[in-house]
Amino acid sequence: MNERNRVVIIGGGFGGLWAAKALANKPVEVALIDRKNHHVFQPLLYQVATAVLSPGEIASPIRRILHHAKNIEVILGEAVDFDKENNAVRLDDGTEVPFDYLIVAAGARHAYFGRDEWETWAPGLKTLEDAVEIRRRVLLAFELAERKAALSGVQDELTFAVVGAGPTGVELAGAIAGIARQALNKDFKAIDTSKARVVLFEGSDRVLGTFASDLSESAKQQLEELGVEVRLNSFVTEIEPGKLKVGEEWFECDVVLWATGVAASPLGSRLGVETDRAGRVKVEPDLSIAGHPNIFVIGDMVHLLQENGEPVPGVSPAAMQMGSATSENILAEIKGRPRKNFVYVDKGSMATIGRSRAIAQVFGMKFRGFVAWLMWLFLHVVFLIGFRNRLFVLMGWFWAYLTRERSARLITGDANELRDALMFMEGEEAVKLLEKLAAKETSAGPKEPA
């Protein structure tokens, strides 16, 4: 009989993966459960959403990443509940997975402040599927505008709205402005893509509010140089198809993207301990939960205050550090040694704004513009998992930098969606246009085979 301790990890994101790596080929049996078969490098999701990179370039199969670890089994499955008294995790098919130690690292998603119905009109960016959907909407908006201008001679104003000026909102807004002004304008004939408006709505009085105020100001300036309209103190209170509301004012927009609000995985609430307003689990200083020292919660799901009274931020270095620290505590305990409390080491933060533009604060020093962008580039390639991915991403960036091209400009999905989207976006006017198009197609007779 195998007497080694069994560690179950839920989630193969930054937290879960780093926990697993620290347990690789150590005297424990590990099962890592994830509902996806791949780990996603979330900091580069916006580049998939804006057609710089392809989904496969920022994701790797979890099984592949951990293939060298003989003691780790990767299980595809969704955890839905826990039996804390009998030390078991319940999966969606009813299977019970027993554990001696449990590490819950299921991450977080964006939240719509209780207005979940907005997600249909304003998708957020968290998974590869979200990124592909955003890419589809952005590219489709240009195609529809071109089609209308080519067939009816009318060029409508094209407006992209991004809600929330945190790192993701700033990255998205900057990259869409880049697409409109630099990448697409040579390929579209009937419309001038550089006239597309990109509007960034932010409820507070500055962009990138977690950075020093002079860096925030620099980021705002860099966004404006790219052509992004930054609207501060503009809290979005309503979203409907094709428009959003700030105060009493409605803004028409073709595409709305959501980049604010956080809700921890609902798994946190199944643990039966205290959570904060965003559903993050309040943990003990060693990241275990009250009354169950063998159950740990790490990463974006955690609410833990640092010595300075600030919560540990929901960023990848924090999740990675928590993953490693938890596994080290488990291994120490098995050897009869005491656990250590978790201390977050903040090495700094950076945010990119567009081609050659970024801000960074690292070890108390501040950087902006090209230097910050080079630092951002270097770090993101270093941490991207897999040699093949790194190589492809570097080549893709180099090409995009030289040519300002976007190589991953595919609109995927059913061709009929083009018609649906046109109907949705432009109401009765679109119906008339469709009728006109249908008449043209009929009068043109049968098409030649492609």
Ligand X SMILES: Cc1cc2nc3c(=O)[nH]c(=O)nc-3n(C[C@H](O)[C@H](O)[C@H](O)COP(=O)(O)OP(=O)(O)OC[C@H]3O[C@@H](n4cnc5c(N)ncnc54)[C@H](O)[C@@H]3O)c2cc1C
Q: Which residues of the chain form contacts with ligand X (CB under 6 A)?
A: 10-16, 33-36, 42-43, 45-46, 78-79, 105-107, 125-126, 167-168, 265, 267, 299-300, 314-317, 319
Compare residues 41 and 251 and give the one whose CB is closer to ligand X: 41
Residue nearest to ligand X (CB): 13
Compare residues 76 and 212 and give the one whose CB is closer to ligand X: 76
Q: Exposed, middle or buried: residue 64 (CB in 10 Å: 0-12, 13-18, 19+)?
A: middle
- Separation between Cα atoms, residue 315 and residue 363, nearest integer Å: 16
CB of 335 to ligand X, least distance (A): 26
CB of 61 to ligand X, least distance (A): 12
CB of 44 to ligand X, least distance (A): 8
Nearest to 210 by CA among 109, 378, 346, 82: 346
Both tokens of residue 68?
Answer: 């060298």
How many Å separate Cα 132 from the centre of its chain? 11
Compare residues 9 and 230 and give the one whose CB is closer to ligand X: 9
Nearest to 77 by CA among 65, 64, 89, 61: 89
Is residue 274 within 8 Å of 125, Cβ to Cβ? no
Is residue 20 within 8 Å of 101, Cβ to Cβ? no
Compare residues 11 and 279 and give the one whose CB is closer to ligand X: 11
3-state helix, strand, coil in the chain (%, to 5): 40, 25, 35
Is residue 246 within 8 Å of 231, Cβ to Cβ? yes
**Amino acid (one-letter) located at 138:** V
Is residue 326 within 8 Å of 332, Cβ to Cβ? no
Secondary structure class of 344 (helix, strand, coil)? coil
**Amino acid (one-letter) located at 421:** A
CB of 98 to ligand X, least distance (A): 16
Is residue 62 within 8 Å of 35, Cβ to Cβ? no
Nearest to 63 by CA among 32, 93, 28: 32
Compare residues 22 and 79 and give the one whose CB is closer to ligand X: 79
Of 57, 146, 171, 202, the catalytic one is 171
- Separation between Cα atoms, residue 165 and residue 258, nearest integer Å: 10
Nearest to 51 by CA among 388, 409, 418: 409
- Name 368's bridge partners: 359
CB of 398 to ligand X, least distance (A): 20
Compare residues 13 and 123 and give the one whose CB is closer to ligand X: 13
Helix (H) or strand (E) holding 299: none
In the annotation, is 274 catalytic?
no
CB of 210 to ligand X, least distance (A): 11
| Whole-angstrom Cα Rg for the chain | 24
CB of 259 to ligand X, least distance (A): 8
Both tokens of residue 212?
Answer: 């020093």
Tell me which residue has tokens 């409907």: 240
DSSP single-letter state for residue 310 = P
CB of 448 to ligand X, least distance (A): 43
Compare residues 15 and 354 and give the one whose CB is closer to ligand X: 15
Compare residues 82 and 201 and give the one whose CB is closer to ligand X: 82
Catalytic residues: 171
